Chains A and B, each alone.
Chain A
Amino acid sequence: NAGVTQTPKFQVLKTGQSMTLQCAQDMNHNSMYWYRQDPGMGLRLIYYSASEGTTDKGEVPNGYNVSRLNKREFSLRLESAAPSQTSVYFCASTPGREVGYGYTFGSGTRLTVV
């Protein structure tokens, strides 16, 4: 099925551990995004990639790094996980950054840091 695929769906980490969240889209979209969702906060942008080869910080980038591996894939890395990073993470893509495009979201990764 066409869309955005995120792996893993669930993960529990210990404080200080590292991990990479994977995201891939098969819609030939240029722009990809990582958001975190916390109760009562809506979605907040962590990092985005306007096009292959570029990445930029969003609203809450601290503690994260990203890699736009190719046009399809955009990964999010937590180098040293902290309890404050317990959240649901969503990857999204859109054809471009022009205003008016709808975003396609993955089904999310639920991360718990203990």
Chain B
Amino acid sequence: AQSVTQLDSHVSVSEGTPVLLRCNYSSSYSPSLFWYVQHPNKGLQLLLKYTSAATLVKGINGFEAEFKKSETSFHLTKPSAHMSDAAEYFCVVSDPGGGADGLTFGKGTHLIIQP
């Protein structure tokens, strides 16, 4: 069985400061991992994905995430927050032994950007 834990339900940072959104996972297999972003009243947009290639993954809008197998973590970072980054972020794990669709979603982290 697989699971995803997003360690913070809300994160607040000032514009121009670094962003860290934490995600831990458990999986019986070699999983694929994703981060999605959801802006208010919008659908989910893929930020980046890890699929067993390079452990440091770069995504859109300056975000990146590092897969650390020993820590079972896939934290999302950005060096400098922008007001447009304010949104809900979901960490997702995918492996063959997962649910019906192979996906398990975290409960989300709401990112607030202070001016």
Docked complex Cα distance between A12 and B32 (Å): 37
Q: Determine the residue in chain A with the shortest Cβ distance to B47.
A: A102
Selected from B34, B43, B106, B107, the residue in CB contact (under 8 A) with A107 is B43
The answer to whether B43 touches A105 (Cβ under 8 A) is yes
**A48-B44 CB under 8 A given contacts A99-B95, A100-B32:** no
Docked complex Cα distance between A43 and B49 (Å): 18
Q: Which of B18-26, B65-73, B96-104 contacts A (4 or more CB under 8 A)?
A: B96-104
Q: How many residues of B contact A (CB 8 A)?
A: 26
Docked complex Cα distance between A64 and B32 (Å): 29
Q: Which of A13-21, A54-62, A71-79 contacts B (4 or more CB under 8 A)?
A: A54-62
Residues of B within 8 A of A100 (CB): 32, 49, 51, 94
The answer to whether B101 touches A48 (Cβ under 8 A) is yes
The answer to whether B99 touches A45 (Cβ under 8 A) is yes
Docked complex Cα distance between A107 and B40 (Å): 10
Q: List 18 A-B contacts (CB under 8 A).
A: A40-B107, A42-B108, A44-B105, A45-B101, A48-B101, A92-B44, A97-B101, A97-B102, A99-B94, A99-B95, A99-B102, A100-B32, A100-B49, A100-B51, A102-B49, A107-B41, A107-B43, A108-B41
Closest 6 CB pairs of A and B: A42-B105, A105-B43, A100-B51, A107-B43, A105-B44, A100-B32
Q: A-contacting residues of B (Cβ < 8 Å)?
A: 9, 31-32, 34, 36, 41-46, 49, 51, 90, 94-96, 99-103, 105-108
